[in-house]
């Protein structure tokens, strides 16, 4: 039974399977195993990435286009700086600058602050994820290649879960290693009277590991399944990877990813969002004139993956952040120990 308290879900009788010290050891173990497996499966090199970028550069991720960025002035640099929200655009520029070719890619540790995120069991204003990006050919800009890549990521996650359970046998959960693929429109057709989140919970509860494709366009209902910025994913070639979370009894999104926009899809999506003013930026110009390579990429939540694999009830059990005081007290009263 799950007890709901405003934005907090409290599993009845919850107790972490791991001690605090075991949890810290297990977090490192997961990160070591998973990033090695991911880099092997997708042929990725680890690179260093920025925490801050210059304001007005066009490199920072706009997410849904409405979130406020954390910005500040500096002593010697003329323009203000911004804390990144993700590295979707920076990675593609890096692949161009570093001279990567089709079949090669990069991954990095991305830390961000998203000040407008609501905090709950799975959301924190501090975001940590593996951001990855890979150069592809024009022929690989296809649904088939997207699905193949998703299968490799799921394989790496399922492998990591098996390794963690061998080290910590008190963990009993499993990861379904065979993803179920469905488009957001097919999902709406299946559950037309449900909200997008309710649809996600229903389909993931049934299939355990699900990749929902084509997110960003309006559906037949006139609503979007979820928001997407117009200038990184091609909305016809993207999706979200979700796993069933037994502890909370709901779907947990681990990754948002996709094949990136080319000149045609960028122009179309900017026009649809009324964001054609972004064409002035160097990044957008380099896509429109075919300078940047074609790529596929995404982000994989580090704390969310640790939370899932370690069977935790709150993301604050696997990362250090700041939380509303009422949430901290309620967690403490119910045996949820935040780091």
Confidence of residue 6 (pLDDT cuts 50, 70, 90): low
> b/e per residue, 309-330, with b = 16+ CB within 10 A?
bbbbbbbbbbbebebeeebeeb
**What residues have CB less than 8 Å from 202, skipping those under 6 apart?**
191, 194
Angstrom CA distances, 211 to 29, 38, 42, 99, 104, stand at 26, 17, 18, 31, 23
Is residue 114 part of the annotated active site? The answer reads: yes
The CA-based angle 168-315-258, given to 5 degrees, is 100
Q: What is the pLDDT of residue 183?
A: 97
Q: How far apart are CA 262 and CA 293, in angstroms?
A: 9
Bridge partner residues of 332 (DSSP): none
Q: In the prediction, which pLDDT does 63 show?
A: 62
Verify whether residue 45 is a known catalytic residue. no
pLDDT of residue 59: 67
The confidence band for 65, taking pLDDT boundaries of 50, 70 and 90, is low
Give the neighbor-by-neighbor strand order of the sheet with 71-72: 52-54, 81-83, 71-72
Query: Residue 293 is part of which domain span?
Result: 14-332
- Residue scoring higher pLDDT (1 or 27): 27
Catalytic residue among 67, 117, 253, 330: 253
State the pLDDT confidence band at 290, using cuts at 50, 70 and 90. Answer: very high
For residue 5, the model assigns a pLDDT of 52
Q: Known catalytic residue: 129? A: yes
Task: Choose, from 16, 184, 256, 302, the residue flagged as catalytic.
Answer: 256
Q: Is the pLDDT of residue 21 over 80?
A: yes
Catalytic residue among 61, 131, 133, 231: 61
124 is catalytic: no
Name the pLDDT band for 29 (thresholds 50, 70, 90). very high
Taking CB atoms within 8 Å and a gap of at least 24, the contacts of 220-224 are: 220/185, 220/188, 220/189, 221/188, 221/192, 223/196
Residue 57: pLDDT over 80? no
Residue 337 lies in a domain: no
Opening angle at CA 245, ends 242 and 246, nearest 5 = 150
Backbone phi, psi, residue 286, to 5°? -70, -20
Tokens of 16: 């972490």
Catalytic site residue from 128, 131, 133, 240: 240
Among the options 16, 85, 86, 114, which is catalytic?
A: 114
pTM of the model: 0.90
Name the catalytic one among 35, 85, 86, 129.
129
- CATH number, domain of 73, equals 3.30.930.10
Contact (CB, 8 A) for 255 and 300: yes
Q: List b or e across 127-145, with b for residues whose CB sees 16 or more CB atoms inside 10 angstroms.
A: bbbbbbbbbbeeebbeeeb
CA 210/CA 244 separation, integer angstroms = 9
Share of the chain above pLDDT 90, in %: 66
Q: How far is CA 73 from the centre of its chain?
A: 29
Give the model confidence (pLDDT) of 97-139 as tens digits.
999 999 999 999 998 888 777 888 888 888 999 999 999 999 9
In a domain, 5, yes or no: no
- 300 compared with 337, residue with greater pLDDT: 300
d(CA 201, CA 327): 24
Q: What per-residue confidence (pLDDT) applies to 244?
A: 97
Q: Is residue 287 part of a domain?
A: yes
What's the pLDDT at 1?
46
Cα separation, 81 vs 302, whole angstroms: 25
Q: What is the mean pLDDT of the chain?
A: 90
**210 or 117, higher pLDDT:** 210
pLDDT for position 61: 65
Work out how many domains the chain is built from and give that number: 1
Tell which wins on pLDDT, 54 or 6: 54
Query: What ranges in 63-115 are assigned the alpha helix state H?
Result: 88-98
What would the mean pLDDT of 24-36 be, rounded to a whole number?
Answer: 96
Q: Is the pLDDT of residue 90 over 70?
A: yes
d(CA 297, CA 100): 14
Phi first, then psi, for residue 188 (nearest 5°) are -65, -40
Q: What is the pLDDT of residue 335?
A: 86
In angstroms, the Cα distances linking 125 to 10, 121, 314, 315, 337 are: 20, 12, 14, 11, 18
pLDDT at 82: 84
Is 176 inside any structural domain?
A: yes
Average pLDDT over residues 77-82: 80
Whether 131 is catalytic: no
How far, in Å, CA of 88 to CA of 63, rounded?
A: 10
Give the per-residue pLDDT at 62: 62
């Amino acid at each position: 039974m799950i007890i709901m308290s405003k934005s907090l879900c409290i599993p009845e009788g919850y107790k972490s399977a791991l001690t605090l010290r075991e949890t810290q050891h297990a977090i490192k173990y997961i990160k070591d195993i998973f990033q090695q497996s991911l880099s092997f499966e997708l042929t990725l090199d680890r690179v260093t990435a920025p925490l801050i970028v210059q304001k007005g550069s066009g490199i920072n991720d706009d997410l849904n286009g409405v979130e406020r960025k954390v910005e500040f002035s500096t002593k010697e640099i003329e323009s203000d700086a911004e804390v990144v929200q993700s590295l979707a655009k920076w990675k593609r520029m890096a692949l161009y600058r570093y001279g990567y070719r089709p079949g090669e890619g990069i991954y990095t540790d991305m830390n961000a602050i998203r000040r407008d995120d609501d905090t709950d069991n799975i959301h924190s204003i501090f975001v940590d994820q593996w951001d990855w990006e890979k150069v592809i050919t024009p022929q690989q800009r296809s649904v088939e290649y997207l699905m193949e890549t998703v299968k490799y990521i799921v394989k790496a996650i399922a492998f990591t879960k098996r390794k963690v359970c061998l080290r910590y046998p008190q963990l009993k959960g499993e990861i379904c290693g065979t993803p179920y693929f469905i488009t957001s429109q097919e999902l709406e057709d299946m559950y037309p009277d449900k909200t997008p989140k309710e649809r996600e919970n229903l389909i993931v509860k049934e299939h355990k590991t699900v990749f929902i494709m084509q997110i960003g366009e309006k559906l037949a209902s006139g609503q979007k399944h979820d928001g997407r910025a117009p200038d990184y994913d091609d909305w016809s070639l993207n999706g979200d990877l979700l796993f069933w979370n037994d502890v909370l009894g709901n779907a947990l999104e681990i990754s948002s990813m996709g094949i990136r926009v080319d000149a045609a899809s960028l122009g179309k999506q900017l026009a649809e969002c009324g964001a054609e003013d972004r064409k002035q930026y160097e990044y957008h110009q380099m896509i429109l004139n075919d300078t940047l390579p074609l790529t596929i990429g995404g982000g994989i939540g580090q704390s969310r993956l640790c939370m899932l694999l370690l069977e935790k009830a709150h993301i604050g059990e696997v990362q250090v952040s700041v939380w509303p005081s009422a949430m901290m007290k309620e967690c403490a009263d119910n045996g949820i120990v935040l780091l």
